[in-house]
Structure 1
Amino acid sequence: MKKVTIREIAKTAGVSTATVSRALSGVGYVSEETKKKIIEISEKLGYKLEKKKHKKTLTKVIGVIVTDVTNPFFTQVVRGIEDTLNNMGYSLILCNSDEDIEKEKEYFRVLESKKVDGIILTPAGGSHKHLLHYLKKDIPIVLLDRLIEEVELDAVIIDNVAGAYEGVKHLIQQGYRKIGAIIGPLSVMTSKERLEGYKKALEEAGIEIREDFVENGEYTQNGGYRAVKKLLSKGKIDALFIANNVMTIGAMLAISELNINVPEELGIVGFDDIDLAPLLKCPLTTISQPTYLIGVNSAQILIRRLQGKGKKEKEIVVLKPRLIVRESSRRMILKEDRR
């Protein structure tokens, strides 16, 4: 069967080919009467409108939303993202959500208006159904540090349960038994998983899990400071597991003010190694995360998606944390040295 052309429709309708093109595409002005006539003729002649697939124009810009770039953890992560993107010809726009879901939503709107090619996100606590809108618009999203329940996405995370478990197990091996924990908001995946690892180590050692030994430090320095004051006011804690570096800084300030000797009176294990950890008056035992590598991996996954080289199923990379033992938790070693 002969293919019907716009030229034939124009001849039959007694109009120009440009008018037919405007009427059928819906782009440009054509009177309603003429448009109706053209559509009727095209249907009668069996014309099929071919919809052109428009290839997405890349801006070579990636949006990155983290909770707080002043947190040393995210400083190194973002560096890994930036170096990887720059090596592949991309730039980034950096945003801080401050753990505020509404601020995160606003930044998504801003990044969409800037026509970024993709987004790397550390999700704040709360519902993330708004991400569906951007996925429908073919904007790839890679999660960083945390997963979310509503949407299955590519992600780069660490084994938080294993990290917390190893830290608390180490405290138990050093002779500590009344171990408190300072965690973040339970609306955040990392907080829930690190609390799970803390409890797992206690259960395995046959140590009672006491809810009054657990405080929410809100993943902030002030939160860590307040949580330590509250926990130590109970007078029963002999060690602390602190679930991120910013809270650890606040906790150490409070411990210093209270003139508590570490590790003799109080053992400390933090989470996220920071550059100052080995330089403190009592060098800090921490769970170290491969922060730079987390950033590199997240950028690489996003670029693969943009290049059409990503896996069909969502890709979740789980990296392993590492326990670094320093003086803040060496209670048994100190006792042996004094014999």
Structure 2
Amino acid sequence: MKKKLSIVDIANSLNISKTTVSFILNGRAREKRISEELVDRVLKYVKEVGYKPNSLAKSLRTGKSNIIGLLVEDISNTFFASIARQIEDRAYKNGYKIIYSSTDNDTQKTQELIAMFRDRHVDGYIIVPPPNIEEDISGLIRDGLPVVLFDRHLPNVETDYVLVDNLFSTYNATRYLIDKGYKNVAFISIDAEQSQMLDRLDGYKKAMNESKLKINTQELDFFQDKKLVTSQIVDFLNEHQEIDAILFGNNRLATCGLKALRNLNKRVPEDIALISFDDYEVFELSNPPITAIAQPIDNIADQVITILLNRLNNTPENDNKQRVILPTDLKVRKST
């Protein structure tokens, strides 16, 4: 096996000090007043021999890996994938690379991923937190590592986060259905103690209570097979024939809901009106197009990476955490 070249090998070959080579490769030649002729000679030699620096060793020397860890619930989900793509672009333009993984909302898996990122000397973290991860995230913060949460937050952890106004969003959507004359509005969501889902449920309940209408909810296991989710929605609607409108807690549930309504030969919106939290490209192509609460994906991504880059590149005078709450947009289409 061919021996991997080191800075010492380069220095010996060029008959200069390894410190000089290190300064040149780390972009500090001008600061150290190293001649342009010597810089050119080193860089030309490095290119000829195909030297690749050891990124881990470099991070140990400099204290920075220029890597950001991104942990989301499911990177294949269009919402998280779109945000991750934009975060990666902004990070790269600012000299950082992204390592991202899916947590499946599993606490143990998230803990293992955080440990792996720590081993890689990741500079900062962007996390969609699963339950019971408070101590691990608090440990990152205690060690001086910046953490930005998004989509949901942990009420007992002091860190930066970027959310949308989940409570008002579902309140506004439910209010819209009520104002359109629907009296039996159901809310179908996931069975989870996530802050954003609790806020969405509270928004629905607030609108229903204000109008003195009956609250009707179903909470499902988000990670079970879609066919099972669809069949459970079918069972729920068979048990509650009076339902005339449904607000779904996310777009995955809404797509299962559409299949359930088709299985029941229910027409949208003639028999049941439908709104999804989270817009989805296929909703515009559906027949009829589906009304949806659209999250500001561009703005979320921009806020998240801006906050983290500021934490990485600046030493703030105070440690006031940024808590950003963004508005959503109710895109009214023909399903309501």
TM-score (normalizing by structure 1): 0.77
Residue 176 of structure 1: aligned partner: 182
Match of 2:242 among 230, 236, 239: 236
Partner residue in 1 for 2:217: 214
Q: Is 1:323 aligned to 2:330, yes or no?
A: yes
- How far apart are residue 291 of structure 1 and its match? 1.3
Gaps of 5+ in 1: 1-53, 330-339
1:102-142 C-alpha deviation (Å, 9 max, x unpaired): 11111100111111100000001234212222222221110
CA distance in structure 2 between the partners assigned to 1:251 and 1:70 by the alignment: 20
Quick one: which amino acid aligns to residue 218 of structure 1?
Answer: D
Distance in 1 separating the partners of 2:256 and 2:331 = 20
* Residue type of the alignment partner of 1:291: I
Q: Deviation of residue 218 (structure 1)?
A: 3.1
Matched, 1:306 2:312: yes
- DSSP 3-state at the match of 1:202: helix
Percent of aligned pairs with the same amino acid: 30
Equivalenced residue count is 273
Larger radius of gyration: 1
Q: Is the 8 A contact 2:233 2:257 kept in 1?
A: yes
Q: State how far apart, in whole Å, the 2-side matches of 1:274 and 1:131 are.
A: 31
Q: Which amino acid aligns with 2:194?
A: V
Contact 1:163–1:321 (Cα < 8 Å) also in 2 = yes
Residue aligned with 2:135, SS: coil
- Counterparts in 2 of 1:271-290, with a 5 A limit? 271-290=277-296
Over aligned residues, Cα RMSD in angstroms?
A: 1.7
The SS at the match of 1:283 is coil
Structure 1, 188-197 or 305-314: larger mean CA deviation: 305-314
- Structure 1 position 82 matched with structure 2 position 88: yes
Mapped contact 2:111–2:133 kept (Cα < 8 A)? no
Shift of 1:76: 1.3
CA contact (8 A) 1:224 1:246 kept: no
Partner of 1:100: 106
| Mapped contact 1:80–1:294 kept (Cα < 8 A) | no
SS in 2 for 1:176: coil
TM-score normalised by L of structure 2: 0.78
Out of 60, 72, 85, the residue aligned to residue 78 of structure 2 is 72
Does the CA-based 8 Å contact 1:215-1:227 persist in structure 2? no
Partner of 2:200: helix, strand, or coil? helix
Shift of 1:205: 1.6
Higher mean alpha-carbon deviation, 77-86 vs 94-103, is at 77-86
**CA drift at 1:89:** 1.4
Relative contact order (C-alpha < 8 Å, sep 6+): which is higher?
1
- Aligned-partner residue type, residue 312 of structure 1: D
How far is 1:312 from its partner? 2.3
Q: Which amino acid aligns with 2:221?
A: E
Q: Judge which range, 109-118 or 223-232, deviates more.
A: 223-232
Question: Which residue of the partner structure matches residue 32 of structure 1?
Answer: none
Aligned mate of 1:59, from 65, 73, 82: 65
1-structure distance, mates of 2:147, 2:66:
15
- Deviation by residue 1:225-278 (Cα, 9 ceiling, x = unmatched): 244213201122111000101111111111111111000100101011111111
Q: Is the Cα contact below 8 Å between 2:87 and 2:302 reproduced in 1?
A: yes
Shift of 1:84: 1.4
Q: Specify the alignment match of 1:146 in structure 2.
A: 152
Q: Tell me how far apart the structure 2 counterparts of residues 134 and 55 of structure 1 sit (CA, whole Å).
A: 20
Local SS of the residue matching 1:130: helix
String of CA shifts for 1:174-203, please: whole Å, max 9, x gaps: 211111111123311111000000001111
Structure 2 unmatched runs, 5+: 1-59
DSSP-derived class of the 1:294 partner: helix
d(CA) in 1 for partners of 2:202, 2:139: 33
Comparing 305-314 and 89-98, the one that deviates more = 305-314
Q: Is 1:111 paired with 2:117?
A: yes
Deviation at 1:308, TM superposition (A): 2.0
Superposed displacement of residue 219, structure 1: 3.5
Q: How does 1:187-226 map to 2 (within 5 A)?
A: 187-209=193-215, 213-220=216-223, 222=226, 224-226=229-231
d(CA) in 2 for partners of 1:132, 1:316: 17
Residues 271-313 of structure 1: per-residue CA shift (max 9 Å, x gap):
1111111100111000000112211211110110111254521
Q: Note the alpha carbon deviations across 1:146-171, whole angstroms, 9 max, x for none.
A: 11033111001000001101111111
Tell me the secondary structure at the aligned position of residue 183 of structure 1. Answer: strand
Tell me the equivalent position of 1:5: none
- AA in 2 matched with 1:129: E
Rounded to whole Å, the distance in 1 between the matches of 2:125 and 2:191 is 24
> 2:293, 2:311 → 1: CA distance?
31
What does residue 6 of structure 1 align with? none
